């Protein structure tokens, strides 16, 4: 599969790296010398050029591609690039029956929500899929703040989650124990499906794998109520999550408004503090800002007297959603120092997001990381379901898939998909009577049935093979 990516920034490189690890043929286009230099470390074809120029797309041989991804930082350039790529492809291929999937990274959530209805965006831009991180990251951020000691929390849909945590030296029930011993002695401990050890890479462990301090474990779990159990088993202290939290949001941005609306719907009380008077007034005058459980204020976010006057330390959660990464980090640190137990923030830079998770009880989500995941999910849409790269366990993918009618896996045991050690099936979600669903632990001898929804972990190098097995017909 040939994939052409316009934009060699962090998002473009992240997508290219993952796809190349799967054995795909990848081309990166950019005219920024720094981005091109960074991209040289990848085993992909790197071209200096502009993805919104016809001649540069011709040089990248987009006519031979199966997927075109526009991943620059500019919405209008990405939409233009998708339109040009589609035009070039259709001119070259005519009625051959071949098709091109186009994916655009879009920052403006309102554009995505308004223009994707009834295929309008596809009609006037040639874009099949618009990826907007802000639409998805609200749920990821809220879930992560339920247990801020987690390194990462990712949704697999239907209240199923990937939860990643570092094992501390004081985790007596895990350290120097095998996985089998830990699961037998810790009541209700969800299953571990990946282990990353410093300087040793990532493995899909079995019951005999021994756990050491400093290991990063990826759990497959159902229900957010299990998060506290996981972090406590790993040696972290985790306070109870309040039923109706007080939430402070720094920034009356579009994302700040989206977060405020979501928390208000959960029964929380919300305070929004904005450095921009215009944004504060816009939010205060909106339907969200008129609610009885929300206060919107304008002020200096570094003014300690103002923060004390607002009783910031008595809030259960603070979230920084300003436009500048370093401003968000400063606000999160200030909130932690003033006594907020759970501080969240949204950053662009994924490396910064990993770093700041070490600041107290701080949980960070990277827009670029969410964009990479969302793009990859569309690339892999031939197997419908979710698709997540784990930021600090980079060799592993968490994904879901459905056993379709006529699948060759129907009637086969779980072990038939897990052969070779490239993947582990965590759960099987099986339909019951009516609309009921049951989540079953996927023991190796359990047999697949039609319409089963699988939650599985796959090594990057095995994604193509696992997808082929899932698509194989009987």
Considering only 63-72, 303-312, 433-442, which range has the smallest mean pLDDT?
433-442
Based on the fold, state whether residues 252 and 228 are members of the same structural domain. Answer: no
Return the CATH number at 418.
3.30.70.1450
Tokens of 76: 């209008």
Q: Is residue 187 part of a domain?
A: yes
pTM for the model: 0.88
Q: Which of 311, 340, 369 is the last residue of a domain?
A: 340
Q: How far apart are CA 192 and CA 240, in angstroms?
A: 23
> Looking at residue 411, what DSSP letter applies?
T
Task: Give 95-118 pLDDT, tens digit per residue.
Answer: 888 999 999 999 988 888 777 667
> Do 258 and 326 sit in the same domain of this protein?
yes
Angle at 270 between CA 266 and CA 274, to 5 degrees: 135
On whether residue 358 sits in a domain, the answer given is: no
**Total number of domains in the chain:** 4
User: Is there a contact between 263 and 321 (Cβ–Cβ < 8 Å)?
Assistant: no
Residue (of 380, 381, 367, 392) closest to 463 by Cα position: 380
248 and 204, same structural domain?
Answer: no
Using the 3D structure, point to which of 214, 233, 252 is the last residue of a domain. Answer: 233
Residues 31, 354, 178, CA angle at the centre, nearest 5°? 130
Between 437 and 132, where is the model more confident?
132
- For 190, phi then psi, to 5°, come to -65, 165
Average pLDDT on 337-363 reads: 86
- My answer on whether 14 and 95 are in the same domain is yes
pLDDT tens, position by position, 218-266: 998 988 889 999 999 999 988 889 999 999 999 999 999 999 999 999 9
Rounded Cα gap, residues 366 and 146, in angstroms? 17
Domain shared by 167 and 253, yes or no:
no
Which residue, 343, 284, 282, is CA-closest to 315? 343
Which residues in 226-311 belong to E strands, given as ranges? 246-250, 269-274, 294-298
Same domain, 13 and 123: yes
Q: Return the pLDDT at 359.
A: 61
303 shares its domain with 405: no
Q: Is residue 374 part of a domain?
A: no
CA distance 319 to 364: 9
Last residue of one domain, picked from the residues 233, 260, 289: 233
Q: Report, as an integer, the average pLDDT of 377-392.
A: 83
Specify whether 175 is located in the same domain as 284.
no
Position 248 in a domain: yes
> Which bin fits 386, alpha (ψ -120 to 50), beta or left (φ > 0)?
beta
Is there a domain that residue 190 lies in?
A: yes
pLDDT beyond 90 at 434 = no
Half-sphere exposure of 18 (CA within 13 A, CB side): 28
What letter would DSSP give residue 313? G
User: What pLDDT, in 10s, does the model give residues 234-247?
Assistant: 999 888 899 999 99
| Tokens found for residue 229 | 């159990």
- Can you tell me the distance from the alpha carbon of 318 to that of 246, in angstroms, rounded to the nearest whole number? 9
Residues 336 and 411 reside in one and the same domain = no
CB-based contacts of 33-37 (< 8 A; 24+ apart in sequence): 35/7, 35/8, 35/9, 36/8
Residue 368 lies in a domain: no
CA distances (Å), origin 304, targets 309, 311, 321: 8, 10, 19
pLDDT of 361 over the 70 cut: no
Note whether 231 and 169 are within 8 A (CB). no
What are the φ and ψ backbone dihedral angles of 66, each rounded to 5 degrees?
-105, -25
Burial annotation 68-79 (CB, 10 A radius, 16+ → b, else e):
bbbbbeebebbb
Pick the closest to residue 124 from 86, 69, 67, 74 (CA basis). 86
Q: Report the CATH number that the domain containing residue 287 is assigned in CATH.
A: 3.40.50.720
Shared-domain flag, residues 33 and 115: yes
Is residue 84's pLDDT more than 80?
yes
Residues 334 and 445 reside in one and the same domain: no
pLDDT in tens, 18-46: 999 888 999 999 999 999 999 999 999 99
Instruction: Please report whether residue 312 resides in a domain.
Output: yes
Which position has the higher pLDDT, 443 or 407? Answer: 407
Residue 121 has, within 13 A of its CA and on its CB side, a CA count of 24
155: left (phi over 0), alpha (psi -120 to 50) or beta: beta
- The model's pLDDT over 112-129, given as tens digits with 9 standing for 90+, comes to 877 766 777 888 888 999
Residue 230 neighbours by CB under 8 Å, 6+ apart? 147, 150, 163, 165, 189, 190, 219, 221
Strand 67-70 and strand 2-6: the pairing is parallel
* φ, ψ at 273 (rounded to 5°): -115, 125
Q: Are residues 73 and 119 in the same domain?
A: yes
C-alpha–C-alpha distance, residues 307 and 296, integer Å: 13
Q: What percent of the chain clears pLDDT 70, i.e. is strictly above it?
A: 98
- Dist. CA 61–CA 391, nearest whole Å: 31
173 C-beta neighbours (distance < 10 Å), count: 15
Give, in order, the Cα–Cα distances in Å from 169 to each of 121, 236, 424. Answer: 52, 10, 27
User: In this structure, is residue 393 part of a structural domain?
Assistant: yes
Quote the strand ranges of 299-341, DSSP E.
317-320
Q: What kind and span of H or E run contains 162?
A: strand 160-166
Domain that residue 450 falls in? 382-471
Measure the CA–CA gap between 165 and 131, rounded to whole angstroms: 28
Question: Tell me: the pLDDT tens digits for 273-286?
Answer: 999 999 999 999 99
Answer whether 423's CB lies under 8 Å from 417's CB: yes
Q: What is the rounded CA–CA span in Å between residue 413 and residue 220?
A: 20
């Amino acid at each position: 599969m040939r994939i052409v990516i316009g934009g060699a920034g962090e998002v473009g490189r992240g997508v290219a790296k993952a796809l190349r690890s799967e054995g795909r043929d990848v081309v990166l286009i950019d005219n920024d010398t720094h981005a091109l230099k960074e991209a040289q470390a990848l085993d992909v074809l790197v071209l200096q050029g502009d993805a919104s120029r016809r001649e540069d797309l011709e040089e990248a041989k987009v006519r031979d591609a199966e997927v075109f991804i526009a991943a620059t930082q500019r919405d209008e350039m990405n939409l233009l690039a998708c339109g040009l790529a589609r035009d070039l492809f259709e001119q070259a291929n005519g009625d051959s029956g071949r098709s091109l999937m186009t994916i655009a990274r879009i920052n403006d959530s309102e554009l995505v929500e308004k223009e994707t209805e009834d295929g309008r965006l596809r009609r006037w831009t040639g874009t099949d899929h618009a990826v907007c991180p802000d639409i998805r990251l609200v749920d990821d951020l809220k879930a992560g703040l339920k247990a801020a000691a987690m390194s990462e929390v990712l949704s697999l849909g239907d209240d199923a989650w990937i939860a990643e945590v570092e094992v501390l030296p004081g985790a007596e029930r895990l350290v120097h124990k095998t996985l089998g011993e830990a699961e037998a002695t810790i009541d209700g401990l969800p299953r571990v499906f990946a282990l990353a050890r410093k300087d040793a890479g990532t493995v899909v462990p079995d019951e005999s794998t021994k756990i050491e301090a400093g290991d990063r474990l990826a759990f497959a779990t159902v229900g957010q109520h299990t998060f506290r159990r996981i972090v406590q088993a790993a040696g972290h202290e985790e306070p109870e999550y309040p039923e109706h939290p007080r939430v402070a949001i720094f920034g009356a941005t579009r994302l700040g408004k989206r977060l405020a609306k979501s928390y208000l719907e959960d029964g929380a009380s919300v305070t929004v503090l904005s450095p921009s008077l215009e944004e504060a007034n816009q939010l205060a005058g909106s339907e969200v800002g008129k609610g009885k459980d929300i206060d919107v204020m304008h002020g200096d976010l570094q003014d300690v007297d103002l923060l004390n006057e607002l009783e910031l330390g008595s809030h259960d959660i603070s979230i920084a959603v300003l436009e500048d990464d370093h401003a968000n980090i400063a606000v999160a640190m200030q909130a932690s120092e003033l006594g907020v137990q759970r501080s969240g923030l949204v950053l662009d830079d994924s490396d910064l997001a990993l770093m700041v998770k070490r600041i107290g009880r701080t949980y960070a989500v990277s827009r670029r990381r969410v964009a990479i995941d969302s793009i990859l999910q569309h690339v892999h849409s031939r197997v419908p379901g979710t698709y997540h790269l784990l930021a600090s366990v980079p060799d592993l993918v968490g994904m879901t898939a459905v056993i379709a009618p006529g699948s060759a896996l129907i009637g086969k045991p779980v072990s038939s998909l897990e052969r070779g050690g490239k993947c582990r099936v965590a759960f099987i979600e099986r339909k019951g009577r009516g609309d009921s669903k049951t989540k079953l632990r996927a023991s190796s001898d359990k047999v697949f049935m039609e319409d089963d929804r699988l939650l599985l972990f796959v090594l990057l190098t095995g994604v193509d093979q696992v997808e082929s097995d899932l698509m194989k017909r009987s």
